[in-house]
Structure 1
Amino acid sequence: MATPLPAGLTAGTYVIDASHSTAGFTVRHAGISKVRGSIAISSGTITVGEDLESSSVSVELDAASVNTGDANRDGHLKSADFWNAEERPTWSFTSTSVKGDGDDFVVTGDLTINGVTKTVELETEFSGTAKDPFGNDRAGFEAQLEISRADFGLTWNAALETGGFLVGDKVKIGLDISAIKQA
């Protein structure tokens, strides 16, 4: 049975507005604190079908745009020690299914980071719709997931004198998306 769309969301193609959308991450540092950062969304399309199951998402992110607030750390993250942004400048996500009910749903798909593709699930919430001052119909979404750095070949680390490692394996990723419906 087809799952109806959340109230207010209409079928159509929506283009992600990169200037009003964010992709952020959080990872443990030295086991005692968290480092937060962001990566720019280059492009993306959300195709809303007549029901949730016939909907899909495709997004690309710019690996070289990483920003943690520290230029040295950002340079290290872009290097071959981490995601080698020069050779692999694009991260991508392509959905394979959308399931749920109401304003909450799960978008399952293939996430590619550092040239490695893994199936992930994004816990997603529909934030609503609005008409902006320029006459655009917008839809908002928030999504979260947690990945293992090791699953994507991101294994660089340094042992700590007190035990443990400098960089945690688990990375929390959060997306805040504003998308504009195309005519």
Structure 2
Amino acid sequence: MATPLPAGLTAGAYEIDPSHSTASFTVRHAGIAKVRGTIALTTGSISVGDDLESSSVSAELDAASVNTGDANRDGHLKSADFWHAEERPVWSFISSSITADGDDYAITGDLTINGVTKTVELETEFEGTAVDPFGNPRAGFSAEVEISRKEFGLTWNAAIEGGGVLVGDKVKIALDISAIKKG
């Protein structure tokens, strides 16, 4: 049975607008604080079919664009200790299914970080549609997922005094997407 599209969303090809979309992450530091950062969402497309099951999403992010507000930390994240940004500059997501999850949506797909691909499920909200001042139809979405950085080969860490480690394993990733309908 086909699941209808959210009210207001129409079938067609949408291009993710990098200048109005963000990808951010949060990870625990020293067990007591959270470090937040962003990574540039460089390209992406959303193919909206006549129903959810015939729809799909793909996106790419630039690992070298990390910004945590600290140039030294950003440099360390880009290094071989973490992201190998010179060797593996592109992170990607390609959906395999989209399903309704109550009032929200679950987008399942393959997330590739640091050359490692794992299946994840993005908890997604449809934020609505609008026509911008230039006449472009837009659709908005927000999504979240929590990953284990170790599962993506991101294992660097350091012990801290009193026990524990410097960098937590769980990383929360949040996306805020504005996509422009083409044609």
Aligned to 2:148: 148
2:3 corresponds to which residue?
3
* Aligned positions, number: 183
Q: AA paired with 1:37? A: G
TM-score by length of 1: 0.99
- 1:27-69 Cα shifts (integer Å, max 9, x gaps): 0000000000000001000000000011000000000000000
1:60 matched residue in structure 2: 60
* 2:138 corresponds to: 138
Worse-matched range after superposition: 44-53 or 96-105: 96-105
Contact 1:46–1:56 (CA under 8 A) maintained in structure 2: yes
Question: 2:32 is matched with which residue?
Answer: 32
Secondary structure of the structure 2 residue equivalent to 1:15: strand
Q: Unaligned 5+ residue runs, structure 1?
A: none
Q: Show the counterpart of 2:175.
A: 175
Q: Secondary structure at the match of 2:7?
A: coil
CA distance in 1, matches of 2:102, 2:54: 15
Shift, 1:161, TM fit: 1.2
Contact between 1:6 and 1:103, CA under 8 Å: does it hold in 2? no
Q: Which residue of 2 aligns with 1:93?
A: 93
| Alpha-carbon distance, 1:101 to partner | 5.5
Residue number in structure 2 paired with 1:50: 50
Unaligned 5+ residue runs, structure 2? none
AA in 1 matched with 2:34:
K
Q: Mapping of 1:2-21 within 5 angstroms?
A: 2-21=2-21
Moved over 4 A (4+): none
Q: Identity percentage over the alignment?
A: 80
- Give the whole-Å Cα distance in 2 for the aligned partners of 1:78 and 1:166: 17
* CA–CA distance in structure 2, aligned partners of residues 27 and 11 of structure 1: 36
Measure the CA separation in 1 of the matches of 2:64 and 2:76: 11
d(CA) in 2 for partners of 1:162, 1:107: 40
Matches within 5 A, 1:97-136: 97-100=97-100, 103-136=103-136
Does residue 1:41 correspond to 2:41, yes or no? yes
Partner Cα separation in structure 1 for residue 101 and residue 173 of structure 2: 22
Give the direction of change, closer, same or farther, for the CA distance of 1:102–1:8 in structure 2 (3 Å limit). farther
| Aligned residue number for residue 73 of structure 2 | 73
Partner of 1:161: 161
- What is the identity, as a one-letter code, of the residue corresponding to 2:148? S
